[in-house]
Amino acid sequence: MDLKLTAKTALVTGASAGIGLEIARTLAVEGARVIITGRNRAKLDSAIAAVKASGGSEIIGVLADAASAEGAAIIAKVEPSVDILVNNLGIYESKAFGDITDADWSHLFEVNVMSGVRLSRAYLPGMLERNWGRIIFISSESGLAIPQDMIHYATTKTAQLSVSRGLAQLTRATNVTVNSVLPGPTRSEGIETFLRSQASDPSAPIKQIEAEFFATARSASILQRMVEAQEVANLVAYLASPRSSATNGAALRAEGGLVNTIA
């Protein structure tokens, strides 16, 4: 299926690895001009090379910290207009509630929530003026099913859903849409370390550890396996395309299922 992304400009934050890199790769292969952001030039260059090796179209990297006000300003100055904004930048950690400091809360909110808020504020007016645009937040199933060892992370993911839904309401009767994608546990950089930290036997084979994780910590999972980054990217590419024109204000689970939508 042609997603009709040729000549569209897409900005993907946190795209030097994992889900963000797969999203950037998929959009570029579909014909979009892609901008990725990051704090490390070597990682940006490596991501750009990986996308080009996959047959992607034009891709550039902007060296800036999208989690800071200064970084967001740099990004908006370098690229003042985009058609598609994918707010993918995010971090997570497992921590007992009593051990989560004020600094921890503030840091996760700056990275996971404010990065998307600032860039959406920068690009939404232009999208509305041109009467076409896509803003996509990469949230998490943890925004709805709160893990007891990641309450601060889950709270930021719930906040993303509120921001996304609120922005969607500002796009009424336009061709601009704002949606969220809620992946379940996704295979990406660092996930093995996280899984081993949760396991009853951290030295066990990773397949055994994954099976235990889904049997205990994620027993409600429909897939009962890790989501692959490419599977998330496929859903994001659809939401970014003109073919998703009737999907607005939605929170879409990467495992399947529609949480909320308006047309």
List pLDDT tens digits, range 204-213: 888 887 778 7
CB of 174 closer than 8 Å to CB of 128: yes
Residue 224 has pLDDT above 90, yes or no: no
List pLDDT tens digits, range 132-156: 999 999 999 889 989 999 999 999 9
Residue 259 has pLDDT above 50, yes or no: no
Query: Rounded to an integer, what distance in angstroms lies between the CA atom of residue 236 and that of residue 127?
Result: 18
List pLDDT tens digits, range 159-197: 999 999 999 999 999 999 999 999 877 777 667 777 787
User: What is the per-residue pLDDT for 260?
Assistant: 45
List pLDDT tens digits, range 84-138: 999 999 999 989 999 999 999 999 999 999 999 999 999 999 999 999 999 999 9
Query: Rounded to an integer, what distance in angstroms lies between the CA atom of residue 244 and that of residue 138?
Result: 17
List pLDDT tens digits, range 53-85: 998 879 999 999 999 999 999 999 999 999 999
Segment holding 48, helix H or strand E? helix 41-53
Distance of CA 155 to the CA centre of its chain: 16
User: What is the per-residue pLDDT for 185?
Assistant: 73
Residue 223 has pLDDT above 70, yes or no: no
List pLDDT tens digits, range 27-42: 999 999 999 999 999 9
Local confidence band at 261 (pLDDT 50, 70, 90 cut-offs): very low
User: What is the per-residue pLDDT for 212?
Assistant: 82
Q: Which SS3 state, helix, strand or coil, does residue 1 take?
A: coil
List pLDDT tens digits, range 229-242: 899 999 999 999 99
Q: Residues with Cβ < 8 Å from 13, sequence gap 6 or more?
A: 20, 36, 37, 66, 86, 87, 88, 89, 115, 116, 119
Catalytic residues: 153
User: What is the per-residue pLDDT for 207?
Assistant: 81
User: What is the per-residue pLDDT for 48?
Assistant: 96
